[in-house]
Structure 1
């Protein structure tokens, strides 16, 4: 069984995501593609504070609910039924995981059944980084860390990029709550970022046009 994401737990108020154009169910769950985003409010802190995974059999007992410092539970729930979102979001394109020790995180992910699909060197905030990519069902996990140095401390789930059906329509709807649309690193795609602080979102969030390779 492939490892996939069932749920991301986010310490935001549901009303903030509704204001950003997402549909949120009465129980505080936002269904984006097959993934559930559970909005639990700032009482839990900020950002993506936990997740649940399907198919990570090696996690059961071996890691004691902790995946390289990220609170993690196992799930056997079926994939979510996608909701329709006024902002045009159709699925989560990728989740960004920051690691203080890239080799350590890669080893932990391998232990639960995830193998890297590709790597690339890039830059984040002016610092050299290495990005390691994993496929988790319809979602890509992008692990980012220093290629040369390592440190202590936990890994963290840092940000989300959502695919939108029509990026120009989405940007027009959100107005000055997004940055100008520009070409993405991925060939043939365009991207914008939400001004998450203005929207009272604690997760760094980007919106990207569909992958042309997938129709």
Structure 2
């Protein structure tokens, strides 16, 4: 069975996400494509505080990230006023890329590709994995081996109409620009304006090959 994402646990209150145009059910779950985002409130801290994955052993450990095994079927998506339709990718910040890649390999998840780039003038390495409909982007500094845990950092969502989504957010998002992915465009949400603790972006749908 392939490893796929069931849900992310996010330490935000539900009303922060509804202000940002996400539909949140009465049980504080945001249904995004086949993935659930469970809003567990500020008592759990901030940001993405854990996730549950299908297709992993019950005792799996993923490099310091709180990880639970799930046998739940794919979720039923909801409609969102901001135009989001699915999770495109989630960013995992790694203090030790070799260690993180080995931890993922231990549960049967292997790299699809990698890219070298710069962030704030520093060299970084991005390694990409596929977890069902979600791309996992692991980011770290080449040659660095820190003993701290990895963390799930931010989420980018697919939207049908990037200009309409940017218009919905108004002054609460950055100007739409070309994404790294060919033919796609992206805007970054000023997430703290809504009381959200997860860095958030919206990206246009992938260009399908003929």
Category of TM-score, reference length = shorter chain: over 0.9
Deviation above 4 Å: which 4+ runs of structure 1? none
Instruction: Please state how far the C-alpha of 1:106 moved relative to its aligned partner.
Output: 0.1
Structural RMSD (CA): 1.1
Give TM-score scaled by structure 1 length.
Answer: 0.95
1:37-74 CA distance string (max 9 Å, x none): 000111100000010000013xx23x4xx310000000
Alignment of 1:168 with 2:168, yes or no, is: no
| Runs of 5+ unmatched residues, structure 1 | none
| Equivalent position of 2:28 in the other structure | 28
Is 1:81 matched up with 2:76? yes
For residues 117-143 of structure 1, give each alpha carbon's deviation from its aligned partner in whole angstroms, at most 9, with x where no partner exists: 001101223211100000111110000
TM-score (normalizing by structure 2): 0.98
- 1:44–1:214 Cα change, 3 Å: farther
What is the distance in 1 between the residues matched to 2:209 and 2:28?
A: 31
1:196 aligns to what? 191
- 1:144-193 CA distances to partner (integer Å, 9 max, x unpaired)? 01112211100000000000010000111110011000000111000000
Confirm or deny that 1:185 pairs with 2:180: yes
Matches within 5 A, 1:97-112: 97-112=92-107
The corresponding residue for 1:54 is 54
Aligned mates of 2:178, 2:133 — CA distance in 1: 22
Residue 10 of structure 2 corresponds to which residue in structure 1? Answer: 10
**Structure 1 equivalent of residue 150 of structure 2:** 155
Please give the alpha-carbon distance, in whole angstroms, between the structure 1 residues aligned to 2:144 and 2:11. 30
Gaps of 5+ in 2: none
Q: 2 CA distance for matches of 1:207 and 1:214?
A: 21
